[in-house]
Amino acid sequence: MEVFRPGDAHETEQVVAWAAAERKPLEILGGGSKRALGRPSRTEHTLDLSALCGIVDYDSSELVLTARAATTMTEIEDQLVAHHQMLAFEPPDWREVLGTSGAQTLGGILACNLSGPRRVRAGAARDHFLGFAAVNGWGDGWKAGGKVVKNVTGYDMCKLQAGAFGTLSVMTEVTVRVLPRPETACTLILQSLSDEDAVAAMAAALNSPHEVSAAAHLPVVLVARSGIAELAGAATTALRLEGPRPSVDFRADVLGRLLGEALRLGPADTERFWTGVGAVQPFVDQHSAGKSDRALWRVCPPPSAAPALVRRVQAGLGSAEAFYDWGGALVWLSVEAGTDCGAPLIRAAVAQSGGHATLIRAPERVRMTVPVFEPLSGALDALTRRVKASFDPLGILNPGRMQEGV
C-alpha cells in the first residue's frame, strides 16, 4: 500500500506510467471528501493529488478561472466572492451526508459532476467546464478544451471527464466558467401542497418568465430539518428568485400572487435554506455516525414522473422518505439500508418513470454487491466499456468505481 503524492503534472504522469507498466491500479484522490461515493476502491495504491493546488489564472472580466485540480473549494470560493462572482452550478457540500472529512476540491466536484439547486436554471458542473490538462491510463499527459468561454474545437472532452469519477484520466489542471453573483435573492414559500401539487406548482414557476433559479419541495416531516424554524409544521415548496433588487422584488410579487405565496425568506435565510438543500441537510442526521442503518439514493427522473415514483417506493418501503429539488428532476430518497438498500424496488420504479438512480450513501458491504450507478445494458454498456478502454485500457485509474470492469 503506497500513497503517491506528485507535486506537478509531470510527476503525475510518472506515477501513472509506472502503475501502467506494473499493472497496479490506483485510487485517485483529491481532498478525500468523496471517498465514500461510488463502489468501494480495491486498489493497492493511491494517487493523492492534494499537492496539485492553487489558482493558476483568474480574470474576472473574462469569466474564466484556471486552477490546479486539487485546489480547495474554500480557496476558489474566497477568490470568487472577493470579485462578486460564483460557480453558477452551485457546487454542493456532501461531506456531512457522506460522513467524510477532508477538503472539497474543484477537480473532485467536476469529476463527480456535482451541481446544486441552481442546476435547474444554470446547468450542471459539466456545462461550466471549459478545459483541462490530464493524464490518461498510459501515463500520457494530454489536454482538451480551452481557456475561453466559447469553443468547439475538437470533441468536447470536458463533458466526458465530468462525471467519470476519475476512471478515464487524472485531471491535473481545470478551467471553468464563472459568472456574476446575483445582487440579491429571496425565496417564495408555498405551504401544505401534496407532492403532486408541489411538482405542478414548481413546473408552473419554472415555466413562467420569472427566472426561478431553484425549486424544491420538502414534505412536512422533513421541514423541521431544513434549518429554518419558521417553516416548521407544513409541507414547504420553495422557489428562489435572484438578480438585481428591483427585478427580484417585482418578480417575487407577481409570482407570489400567481401561486399563492405563504411566506417569503430574505437573503440570509435564502442562502441558508438552499445551501441546506444542496447539502441534503434534511437527511444528514439520519446518516451521521452510528446511525448508518439508512441509505441515501439520488434519483433523476423526468420531473413530472417524480411524485408517482416516490409513491411507488413508499408503497414498497414503508419507512422511505423523500424530498424534491430541481423542480422534481432530482429526488433524494432515504430508505432503510437492510441487505440491499431497497435497490430492486427503486430500480424497478426508475425503470417505470425513466431517468436514473445512484446509491449515494450506503454501507460498504452493500456498495460492493449492489450496483451504485444505474446499470447499463446492451449497446450502451458495450460502448461505455470501449470508451473506458480508449483512455485506460489496463484499468489503472479508479477501476470499478462506477461499474465492474469500468
Is 338 a binding residue for other proteins by CB under 8 A? The answer is no
The whole-angstrom separation of Cα 83 and Cα 113 is 24
- Choose among 326, 351, 323: nearest CA to 223: 323
285-324 residues in contact with other proteins (CB under 8 A) are 300-304
Encode 196-255 in three state secondary structure. HHHHHHHHHHHCCCCCEEEEEEECHHHHHHHCCHHHCCCCEEEEEEEECHHHHHHHHHHH
Contact (CB, 8 A) for 288 and 340 = no
Q: Which strands, in side-by-side order, build the sheet including 330-336?
A: 263-265, 184-191, 236-243, 212-218, 321-325, 330-336, 294-300, 356-361
By CB neighbour count within 10 A (0-12 exposed, 13-18 middle, 19+ buried), where does 126 fall?
middle
96-115 residues in contact with other proteins (CB under 8 A) are 113, 115
Q: Who's near 135: CB < 8 A, 6+ residues apart?
A: 9, 12, 13, 16, 141, 142, 169, 170, 172
Chosen residue from 296, 330, 333, 370 binding other proteins by CB under 8 A: 330
C-alpha cell at 105: 476540491
C-alpha cell at 229: 424554524
209-268 residues in contact with other proteins (CB under 8 A) are 209-211, 243-244, 246-247, 249-251, 254
145-164 residues in contact with other proteins (CB under 8 A) are 146-160, 162-164
∠ CA 119-224-236, nearest 5°, is 50
Q: Which is nearer to other proteins, 228 or 296 (CB)?
A: 296
Q: Which is nearer to other proteins, 107 or 182 (CB)?
A: 182
Task: Mark residues 340-359: x for contact with other proteins by CB under 8 A, - for none.
Answer: --------------xxx---
Q: Which is nearer to other proteins, 96 or 196 (CB)?
A: 196
Is 272 a binding residue for other proteins by CB under 8 A? The answer is no
In the complex, the smallest distance separating the C-beta of residue 79 from other proteins, rounded to whole angstroms, is 15
357-386 residues in contact with other proteins (CB under 8 A) are 373-374, 376, 378-380, 382-384, 386
Chosen residue from 41, 55, 75, 138 binding other proteins by CB under 8 A: 138
Rg for the chain (alpha carbons), in Å? 21
Is 326 a binding residue for other proteins by CB under 8 A? The answer is yes
Q: Which is nearer to other proteins, 3 or 232 (CB)?
A: 3
383-402 residues in contact with other proteins (CB under 8 A) are 383-384, 386-391, 393-394, 402
Is 127 a binding residue for other proteins by CB under 8 A? The answer is yes
30-59 residues in contact with other proteins (CB under 8 A) are 48, 51, 59
Is 28 a binding residue for other proteins by CB under 8 A? The answer is no
The whole-angstrom separation of Cα 262 and Cα 163 is 38
- Total of residues contacting other proteins (CB under 8 A): 112
The whole-angstrom separation of Cα 238 and Cα 311 is 21
Q: Which is nearer to other proteins, 101 or 390 (CB)?
A: 390
In the complex, the smallest distance separating the C-beta of residue 195 from other proteins, rounded to whole angstroms, is 14
- Choose among 241, 242, 216: nearest CA to 303: 216
Q: Which is nearer to other proteins, 178 or 231 (CB)?
A: 178
Q: Which is nearer to other proteins, 107 or 139 (CB)?
A: 139
